[in-house]
């Protein structure tokens, strides 16, 4: 969200940023960069979106999606109304489906057009999780969540004026769901000043994974990699280390004591964590949208080994700026290539950086979005 706001401001737009400060991604308001506070007219409101058993059970007997409903609060709505009544806006851009509970409030208190910046086709994530789950009861519940989310997505698509999905794949999904109004597929971007490129060294040939482990696709992917891929890799390269980082690691991973695996848990600075490591693994088996962590890793010149699902939405070329692997054997072969020829491994990372410079910089993304909005007004 911050990257998008910065890119719009850099493109010349007058941006007001209103953030929902959740426990999961909590940011103390006084730590928001002072250099950006006035540029982005920053406001935030704390909201408790924690999943509760009572809330999930009640949702079984209602028609909405608990995934979305828990992002509504009266305090947020009141703050939003105050902002809308104090300022006139041309466009209100909603970041993700989870801000959609406030659409009716925006319509009531503003004449602005409403755009949904869709980070995922949300129901597809749960649909894929259900398809791969072997537990019959969990599979049924995941299918239930997917159906509820799809219903909400259909309703929201009928309520908005513009759609800005982050991948062409997701745009096609929304079109197939019946969306006919203006849309622009626009990827997530990065501020290249935050990701300085440093030529790597052979000392950095270790594997790493970085991702929040309270997102089910990450847990599913890492557990699969540790069970199905890592034993053969470790047997072949016994000195190679695999570093795992991210918040809320389940004990099934952090306490498993896999040989050669170092579970670091929550880290304070992602760039500092990635600095002395070269090969990022992205073993996603489900999900939707685009993985911004891949773009961030590519911006730093890291070599990415990812499943095809993990790389969805990023305009990569296998063997040039990424290595794609969809099976344990393919992950092993990709690691073999990197270990046997470090120069080749590093060239993948350098080409990845060049791709980000060309297609995923904040400045170019902001300009494209402003042009899109200007044409529709």
**3-class secondary structure per residue, 253-294:** HHCCCCCCEEEEECCCCHHHHHHCCCEEEECCCCCCCCCHHH
Under 8 Å between Cβ of 291 and 285? no
Distance CA 352, CA 346 (A): 10
pLDDT at 204: 65
Report domain 2-189+361-376's class: alpha beta
Q: What is the pLDDT of residues 209-227, one digit of tens each?
A: 999 888 888 999 999 999 9
Low-confidence ranges of the chain (pLDDT < 70): 59, 61, 202-204, 376-377
Which residues, in sequence order, are bridge partners of residue 215?
Answer: none
Under 8 Å between Cβ of 362 and 10? yes
pLDDT at 3: 78
Q: What is the pLDDT of residues 223-255, one digit of tens each?
A: 999 999 999 999 999 999 999 999 888 888 888
Distance CA 221, CA 338 (A): 21
pLDDT at 11: 82
Predicted TM-score (pTM) above 0.85: no
What would the two tokens of residue 289 be? 């949208």
pLDDT at 203: 67
Superfamily of domain 192-359: Glycogen Phosphorylase B; (3.40.50.2000)
The count of other CB atoms within 10 Å of the CB of residue 347 is 14
The count of other CB atoms within 10 Å of the CB of residue 377 is 7
pLDDT at 138: 85
pLDDT at 292: 87
- Strands of 323-324's sheet, edge to edge? 261-265, 242-245, 207-210, 279-282, 303-306, 323-324
Range(s) of the chain covered by CATH 3.40.50.2000: 2-189+361-376, 192-359
């Amino acid at each position: 969200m911050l990257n998008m706001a910065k890119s719009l401001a850099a493109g010349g737009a007058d941006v007001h940023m209103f953030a929902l400060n959740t426990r999961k991604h909590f940011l103390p308001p006084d730590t928001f960069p002072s250099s950006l506070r006035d540029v982005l007219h920053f406001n935030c409101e704390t909201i408790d979106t924690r999943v509760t058993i009572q809330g999930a059970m009640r949702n079984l007997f209602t028609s909405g999606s608990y995934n979305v409903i828990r992002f509504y609060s009266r305090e947020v709505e009141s703050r939003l109304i105050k902002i809308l009544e104090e300022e006139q806006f041309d466009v209100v851009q909603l970041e993700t489906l989870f801000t959609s509970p406030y659409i009716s409030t925006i319509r009531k208190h503003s004449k602005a057009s409403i755009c949904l910046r869709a980070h995922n086709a949300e129901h597809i994530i749960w649909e894929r999780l259900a398809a791969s789950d072997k537990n019959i009861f969990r599979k049924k519940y995941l299918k239930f969540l997917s159906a509820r989310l799809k219903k909400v997505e259909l309703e929201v698509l009928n309520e908005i004026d513009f759609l800005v999905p982050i991948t062409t794949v997701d745009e096609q999904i929304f079109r197939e769901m019946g969306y006919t109004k203006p849309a622009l597929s626009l990827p997530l971007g990065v501020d290249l000043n935050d990701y300085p490129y440093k030529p790597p060294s052979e000392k950095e040939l270790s594997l790493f994974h970085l991702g929040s482990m309270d997102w089910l696709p990450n847990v599913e992917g890492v557990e699969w990699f540790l069970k199905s891929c890592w034993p053969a890799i470790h047997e072949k390269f016994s000195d190679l280390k695999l570093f795992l980082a991210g918040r809320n690691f389940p004990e099934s991973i952090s306490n498993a004591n896999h040989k050669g695996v170092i579970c670091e848990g929550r880290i304070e600075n992602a760039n500092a964590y990635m600095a002395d490591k070269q090969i990022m693994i992205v073993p996603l088996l489900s999900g939707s949208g685009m993985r911004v962590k891949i773009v961030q890793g590519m911006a730093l010149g890291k070599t990415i080994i990812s499943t095809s699902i993990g790389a969805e939405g990023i305009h990569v070329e296998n063997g040039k700026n990424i290595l794609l692997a969809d099976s344990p054997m393919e992950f092993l072969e990709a690691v073999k290539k990197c270990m046997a020829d470090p120069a080749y491994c590093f060239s993948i990372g350098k080409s990845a950086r060049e791709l980000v410079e060309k297609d995923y910089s904040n400045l170019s993304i902001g300009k494209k979005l402003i042009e899109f909005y200007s044409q529709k007004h």
